[in-house]
Amino acid sequence: MNKDYNKLLNNIDITEEKKQELYENCIRSKHAGDFLFRYSQPLCILIAAAVFMLTGIGATAAVLSVKDRMESMSEEEYNDYAYEVENDTFVSVDEGFSRELRDSEILRIIELERDYYDNGVFPVNTVPHLQTAAEREEDQLAYVAEDNLLYLPEKDMDDEQILEYIDHDAKKWYLNSQALMEEGFDVGTSPDLTYDSTEIAEGSGEQKARDAGEKLLKDIYGVDINADKNWIVLVEFFEGEEGITEDLYQLDIYKKGTGYADSYQLRLRAEDMSPILINLAGYERELRAKRFSTAEADAMNDSAYESAVSFAGEYLGLGTPEDYRFEEDFGATADGEAFKYLILKYGDKSVYFGIKLEDMKVIMCHVMRSGT
């Protein structure tokens, strides 16, 4: 076997153009995010928020009790979770389950997550780690090592099982975040890993961005992030790259104890704090939104367009667009459509909108320039 294996791959190589694309896409993705992807897989993004509640300065007593719970795992349980985390190769959360979570279960998870993290309501039992599926009892919630799956009961999970599920999730994320930090990840402003709002110097650009973001959230959604100490506000500055992006601030805003619930993302132009992106995310919003048949939804196109144009005028200082188009077949599920997605065109600028049909509220607005 002492052949020149490298020679076999001489003709397989990346082009200089692709290298440049990789570089530019990394910078764009970090700055702008891939929102279509995020919307299509909300679970894999939002469940990460659960890790927020685990520790940190200023945490409430109930939050600390979750942390205590994590730290007081027995060696056996810790090792079971370490095995599970180490073998976790799933792209999204659902792919690690024996079946998808049902909407009714997710809504109950949202309610019980608040109890778990805010009030220290824990399950009586914990999710067992079994070697083989044969060991599992009927309708038992259990992790099975041989196929690396979390088995959910065929019937809907009851409250005890949902608490066990939340507990399992919290422990997995606890180990996962520890492992990442041990590998040297900078946890400073990573929503997956930090537990506290960004410390901001008075009068700094970050402070101005936070103030502008607070005002936007209050004006648009009526949310006052200063009224509840459980909001976590992360602020990060990104220096632009000529021809690719401009200087901007990103704000990630989550509430403690609500991994599946609503959260917000804002991106503001550093120069004038005008918004580039306003995004209301969250499984809770998606699941609770009223759905309409395709015909009903299409009949609302004019209203959705008017809502987008009005929003663009009020918050982006834009007038009537030169052109617009609706995104076809996007956002519809078997249960119908709850949202419409459309793009307004203004010269070299496009503004991407997501509109909730039930009340015509803008749930997403993203300003994009051609070539960026």
* Closer by beta carbon to other proteins, 90 or else 299: 90
* Closer by beta carbon to other proteins, 76 or else 183: 183
Q: Least distance to other proteins from the beta carbon of 207, Å?
A: 19
Cβ atoms within 10 Å of 337's Cβ, excluding its own: 21
Distance between CA atoms of residues 215 and 53, nearest Å = 25
Identify the residue among 73, 82, 180, 287 touching other proteins (CB under 8 A): 180
Decide if residue 12 touches other proteins (CB under 8 A): yes
Interface segment toward other proteins; rule CB under 8 A; list 5-13, 129-137, 310-318, 340-348: 5-13
Please, which of residues 67-106 interact with other proteins by CB under 8 A?
A: 86, 89-91, 95
* Closer by beta carbon to other proteins, 236 or else 284: 236
Please, which of residues 15-54 interact with other proteins by CB under 8 A?
A: 18-19, 22-23, 25-27, 29-30
Please, which of residues 217-256 interact with other proteins by CB under 8 A?
A: 237-239, 241
Decide if residue 186 touches other proteins (CB under 8 A): yes
* Closer by beta carbon to other proteins, 166 or else 248: 248
* Closer by beta carbon to other proteins, 18 or else 369: 18
Residue 336 pairs with which residues in a beta bridge?
A: 333
Cβ atoms within 10 Å of 204's Cβ, excluding its own: 12
* Closer by beta carbon to other proteins, 140 or else 190: 190
Rounded alpha-carbon distances, angstroms, from residue 156 to 61, 102, 369? 32, 8, 46
Output phi, psi for 221, to 5 deg: -115, -5
Residues 303, 362 contacting (CB under 8 angstroms): no
Decide if residue 159 touches other proteins (CB under 8 A): no
Distance between CA atoms of residues 172 and 176, nearest Å = 6
Q: Least distance to other proteins from the beta carbon of 92, Å?
A: 8
Q: Least distance to other proteins from the beta carbon of 190, Å?
A: 7
Q: What is the pairing mode between strands 263-269 and 275-281?
A: antiparallel
Residues 308, 367 contacting (CB under 8 angstroms): no
> Which of 347, 336, 339 lies closest to 365, judged by CA?
339
Instruction: Match 């530019």 to its residue by tokens.
Output: 24
Residues binding other proteins: number (CB under 8 A) = 36
Strands, E assignment, the chain: 129-130, 142-144, 149-151, 231-238, 248-255, 263-269, 275-281, 323-326, 332-333, 336-337, 339-346, 349-356, 361-369
Distance between CA atoms of residues 266 and 209, nearest Å = 10
Decide if residue 147 touches other proteins (CB under 8 A): no
* Closer by beta carbon to other proteins, 57 or else 91: 91
Q: Least distance to other proteins from the beta carbon of 222, Å?
A: 32
Q: Least distance to other proteins from the beta carbon of 109, Å?
A: 23
The tokens describing 251, both together, are 């704000």
Distance between CA atoms of residues 341 and 308, nearest Å = 10
Instruction: Match 């309409």 to its residue by tokens.
Output: 292
* Closer by beta carbon to other proteins, 6 or else 74: 6
Write out the residues near other proteins by the rule CB under 8 A: 1, 3, 5-14, 18-19, 22-23, 25-27, 29-30, 86, 89-91, 95, 180, 183-186, 190, 237-239, 241
